[in-house]
Amino acid sequence: MKTNKYLNKENAEALLLRDEINRLGRRRKKLSEQILRLTNKLKEVCVHNETEIVNEFNDGSYYDRKEYITKVVCKVCDKELDKKISYGGYG
């Protein structure tokens, strides 16, 4: 005999919440996949006519040299169009 899992009054609310969380988790996964697909399509379709230069710096350590990173990034789709790395001295 199969019993209804919601007949247990003590834990009915927790079981309902767990089911809702599982449902939302499945929905989130589908939405995440759709967002990734559309973002990749945007990067292919975009003409990249609005760009900005982004400068980054990674401090070196005793063994690693400093990195000066210059990127050209599209303002519309955030695609990295160019990246130049130059190295400095040790930290």
Which comes out higher in pLDDT, residue 18 or 89?
18
Instruction: Provide CB contacts within 8 A for 82, sequence distance 6+.
Output: 71, 72
Helix, strand or coil for residue 81? strand
The structural domains of the chain, with segments of one domain joined by +, span 1-45, 48-91
DSSP-assigned letter for residue 79: -
- The answer, yes or no, to whether residue 5 has pLDDT greater than 90, is no
Q: What is the pLDDT of residue 1?
A: 37
Q: What is the pLDDT of residue 91?
A: 54
Q: Which residues pair with 86 in a beta bridge?
A: 68
- The answer, yes or no, to whether residue 7 has pLDDT greater than 80, is no
Helix, strand or coil for residue 3? coil
Is the CB of residue 51 less than 8 Å from the CB of residue 75?
A: yes
- The answer, yes or no, to whether residue 9 has pLDDT greater than 80, is no
Sort 51 into a burial class: Cβ within 10 Å, 0-12 / 13-18 / 19+: middle
pLDDT in tens, 26-74: 999 999 999 999 999 998 999 999 999 999 998 877 777 889 999 999 9
